[in-house]
């Protein structure tokens, strides 16, 4: 079986991929994640997922490499990882009472294969008071999450609804699509 590599150091993606019970290693891709001028959020997620997989695959010929990226999309504007408490506060204020689309792309690069899939998750944030935002940020500290919300923990309390055909996509790695791409690369999680 070829080596399986996750082109990410994200603990969230590592935890998700571990659910498939395939042995894998994780490697940083060192890809510049800056959006191109005028680049739409979905296009950015797809470009970065493929670039991450290709960067690691170039270092590990013969391996099956998974790259993934997630971008929050608010009315066509990219909402990235906040990095700081102040930016997270501003993001959550903007998203309060609104629908945000989380664009999550996954790519698999292997010998003879470079394929990509995208999952779209529609998230409706409830109306959020400044006190609720502050309490959430102090509790969860989601500064490394696109859109400032960890739905796998307390961030679920920020939401009214989540709509998706791939529930793990919102956490950062759409496993249904990942499984389909891995099968195309010759790896069957159920084998």
Catalytic positions: 69
The packing angle between helices 11-18 and 175-184, to 10°, is 70
Cβ-contact 64, 108 below 8 angstroms:
yes
Produce one character per residue of 27-64: b if its CB has 16 or more CB atoms within 10 Å, e if not.
bebebeeeeeeeebbbbbbbbbbbbbbbbbbeebeebb
Residue that the structure tokens 């010998």 belong to: 111
The first and second tokens of residue 62, run together, are 């013969």
């Amino acid at each position: 079986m070829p080596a399986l590599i996750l082109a990410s150091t994200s603990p969230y993606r590592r935890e998700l991929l571990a659910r498939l019970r395939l042995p894998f290693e994780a490697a940083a891709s060192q890809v510049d994640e800056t959006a191109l001028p005028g680049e739409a959020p979905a296009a950015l997620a797809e470009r970065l997922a493929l670039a991450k997989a290709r960067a690691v695959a170039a270092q590990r010929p013969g391996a099956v490499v998974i790259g993934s990226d997630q971008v929050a999309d608010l009315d066509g504007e990219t909402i990235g990882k906040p990095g700081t408490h102040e930016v997270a506060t501003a993001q959550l204020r903007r998203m309060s009472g609104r629908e945000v689309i989380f664009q999550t792309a996954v790519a698999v690069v292997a010998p003879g294969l470079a394929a990509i899939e995208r999952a779209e998750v529609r998230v409706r944030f409830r109306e959020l008071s400044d006190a609720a935002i502050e309490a959430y940020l102090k509790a969860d500290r989601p500064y490394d999450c696109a859109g400032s919300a960890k739905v796998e923990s307390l961030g679920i309390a920020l939401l009214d609804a989540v709509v998706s055909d791939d529930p793990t996509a919102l956490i950062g790695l759409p496993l249904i699509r990942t499984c389909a791409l891995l099968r195309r690369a010759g790896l069957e999680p159920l084998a």
